[in-house]
């Protein structure tokens, strides 16, 4: 599905000018192996949980708001946190 973000500015944007957009987003760890999701593996001590990513085109947006289509070549910095009492 297509997702859109509309940003209203107080003045028109200037072509070839670099802009910084800052936002806060809260989401849930997925279980469907897309975006940012939880998975598990087994080692000699038993089942171990981990958080991992699958950011193929169209999947990064399931982790955080972004333009993740191949035609958009955007760079970004992201910080992900978890609640102190989080457990799998």
Q: How confident is the model at residue 88, as a pLDDT?
A: 60
- How many residues comprise the chain? 88
What value does the mean pLDDT take over residues 8-24?
90
38-81 pLDDT, tens digit per residue, is 999 999 999 999 989 888 888 888 888 887 888 877 777 878 77
Residue-averaged pLDDT of the chain? 84
57-65 — which CB contacts under 8 Å span 24+ positions? 59/34, 59/35, 60/35, 61/3, 61/35, 62/30, 62/34, 62/35, 62/36, 63/27, 63/30, 63/35, 63/36, 64/25, 64/27, 64/36, 65/5, 65/23, 65/25
Q: Which helix (H) or strand (E) holds 84?
A: none
């Amino acid at each position: 599905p297509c997702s859109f973000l509309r940003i209203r500015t107080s003045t028109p944007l200037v072509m070839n000018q670099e802009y910084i957009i800052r936002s806060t987003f809260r989401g849930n760890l997925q279980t469907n192996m897309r975006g940012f999701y939880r998975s598990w593996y087994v080692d000699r001590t038993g089942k171990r949980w981990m958080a991992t990513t699958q950011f193929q085109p169209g999947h990064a947006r399931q982790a955080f708001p972004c333009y993740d289509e191949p035609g958009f070549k955007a760079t970004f910095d992201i910080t992900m946190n978890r609640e102190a009492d989080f457990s799998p």
